[in-house]
Amino acid sequence: MSQTPQRPRKNVVAYCITWASYLLLILMMIITSLPSYLPEGSSPWVVVSVKLSPLLIILPGLIKDSLRSYTWLCFIVLFYFTQAVVEAFLSQGAG
Q: Could you read off the pLDDT of 37-90 as tens digits, one per residue?
A: 778 888 888 888 999 999 999 999 999 999 999 999 999 999 999 998 998 888
pLDDT tens digit sequence for 7-27: 788 888 999 999 999 999 999
Q: Are 22 and 72 in contact (CB under 8 A)?
A: no
Q: Does residue 69 fall inside a structural domain?
A: yes
Domains of the chain: total:
1
Domain encompassing residue 36: 9-90
Euclidean distance between CA atoms 79 and 74, whole angstroms: 9
Euclidean distance between CA atoms 47 and 43, whole angstroms: 6
Q: Does residue 2 fall inside a structural domain?
A: no
